[in-house]
């Protein structure tokens, strides 16, 4: 099973090691095929990765003009009078990607796409959901829910979201030939992108999601929003089934609060309760799965290392000795 866990010393080391693994795979595919489709994630976890990748593009080791990218997700309901204003909101993932990656590049990608959450007006969405309860259903056993819209919905607005926002994004990925390598993070409940804990794996490829309260609380704790009332309650997201169709998936995790879900995603059987555990299914089907995690996020993995390695998952600890355990003097 092509499943490899790399334990780095700290956040900076994680970014450096993940970026080099990604750079190698991009360069190899460009040499063989001439183009590459890169899946991107917003948020804090990949910031160091993007800085190192930008250096590789800018010094000529990689050719940006032969790269197409697709992001995982985007909020629905950010403030703004119109779609461009919502896309420019500082906490939109479009703005985040511009700040943390695209603005660092001297050359542009051939194409860069994000789910069009900014095109969905939150008040219209809520009004249509309330007015047309037969057009949709909630799916999921947790607090976060997939809003599954019928393809033949009576509501023009809901039918448009299904066809032009959700289905159209997946079709764009298909036309590009699928994603060669997808970068993801992991949430405190083991969710990936906005595929929340408890949403089934199957038939949830592009999602309209009602966000878990924990996801909203973490967005506030991370400083993205001043209070819960400011955080959007809906998002557009790739689902696990689509995410893990990438030929290679690189999961990043840093910090103590990620230790539990990271270990759980590796040590137990795949379950929708921990969407990141879908990586095991991905690897069994022949996909390449790589975790690059810092020492704190790896604490649970290292404690259960023998158990995890019995599942055919290789764990490589490159973190070095823990400074706190080093002898004085």
- Note whether residue 68 is domain-resident: yes
Burial of 196 (0-12, 13-18, 19+ CB in 10 A): buried
Structure tokens given for 158: 């809901």
The H helix count followed by the E strand count for the chain is 13, 13
Backbone angles phi, psi at 179, to 5 degrees: -90, 130
- Note whether residue 141 is domain-resident: yes
Number of folded domains in the chain? 1
* 243-265 pLDDT per residue, tens: 999 999 999 999 999 999 999 99
- Note whether residue 52 is domain-resident: yes
Instruction: Look up the pTM and report it.
Output: 0.96
- Note whether residue 321 is domain-resident: no
First to last CA, the chain: 44
Radius of gyration of the chain measured on its C-alpha atoms:
20
CA 312 to chain centre: 24
pLDDT of residue 53: 98
- Note whether residue 255 is domain-resident: yes
- Note whether residue 329 is domain-resident: no
Q: Enumerate the β-bridge partners of residue 291.
A: 5, 251
Phi-psi region of 243 (alpha: psi -120 to 50; beta: other; left: phi over 0): alpha
CATH code, domain carrying 229:
3.40.50.1360
Average pLDDT for runs of 10 along the chain of length 329: 92 98 98 98 97 98 98 97 96 98 98 98 97 98 97 98 98 98 96 98 95 94 92 98 98 97 98 98 97 98 98 96 45
What is residue 277's DSSP assignment? G
* 130-140 pLDDT per residue, tens: 999 999 999 99
pLDDT of residue 320: 86
Cα angle 244, 3, 166; round to 5:
5
Domain carrying residue 58: 3-315
- Note whether residue 154 is domain-resident: yes
- Note whether residue 306 is domain-resident: yes
């Amino acid at each position: 099973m092509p499943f490899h866990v790399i334990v780095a010393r700290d956040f900076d080391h994680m970014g450096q090691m993940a970026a080099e693994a990604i750079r190698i795979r991009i360069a190899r595919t460009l040499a063989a095929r001439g183009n590459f489709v890169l899946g991107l994630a917003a948020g804090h976890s990949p910031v160091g990765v993007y800085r190192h990748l930008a250096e590789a593009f800018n010094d000529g080791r990689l050719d940006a003009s032969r790269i197409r990218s697709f992001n995982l997700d985007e909020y629905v309901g950010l403030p703004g009078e119109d779609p461009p204003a919502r896309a420019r909101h500082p906490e939109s993932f479009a703005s985040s990607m511009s700040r943390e990656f695209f603005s660092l590049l001297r050359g542009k990608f051939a194409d860069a796409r994000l789910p069009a959450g900014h095109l969905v007006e939150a008040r219209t969405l809520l009004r249509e959901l309330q007015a047309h309860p037969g057009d949709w259903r909630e799916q999921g056993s947790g607090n976060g829910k997939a809003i599954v819209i019928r393809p033949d919905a009576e509501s023009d607005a809901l039918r448009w979201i299904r066809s032009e926002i959700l289905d159209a994004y997946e079709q764009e990925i298909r036309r590009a030939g699928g994603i060669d390598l997808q970068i993801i993070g992991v949430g405190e409940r083991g969710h990936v992108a906005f595929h929340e804990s408890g949403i089934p794996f199957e038939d949830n490829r592009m999602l309209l999601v009602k966000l878990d309260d924990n996801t909203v609380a973490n967005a506030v704790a991370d400083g993205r929003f001043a209070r819960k009332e400011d955080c959007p309650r809906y998002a557009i997201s790739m689902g696990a089934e689509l995410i893990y169709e990438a030929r290679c998936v690189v999961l990043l995790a840093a910090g103590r609060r990620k230790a539990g879900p990271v270990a759980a995603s590796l040590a137990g059987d795949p379950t929708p309760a921990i969407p990141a555990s879908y990586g095991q299914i991905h690897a069994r089907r022949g996909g390449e799965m790589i975790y690059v995690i810092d020492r704190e996020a790896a604490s649970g993995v290292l404690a259960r290392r023998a158990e995890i390695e019995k599942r055919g998952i290789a764990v490589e600890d490159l973190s070095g000795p823990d400074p706190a355990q080093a002898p004085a003097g």
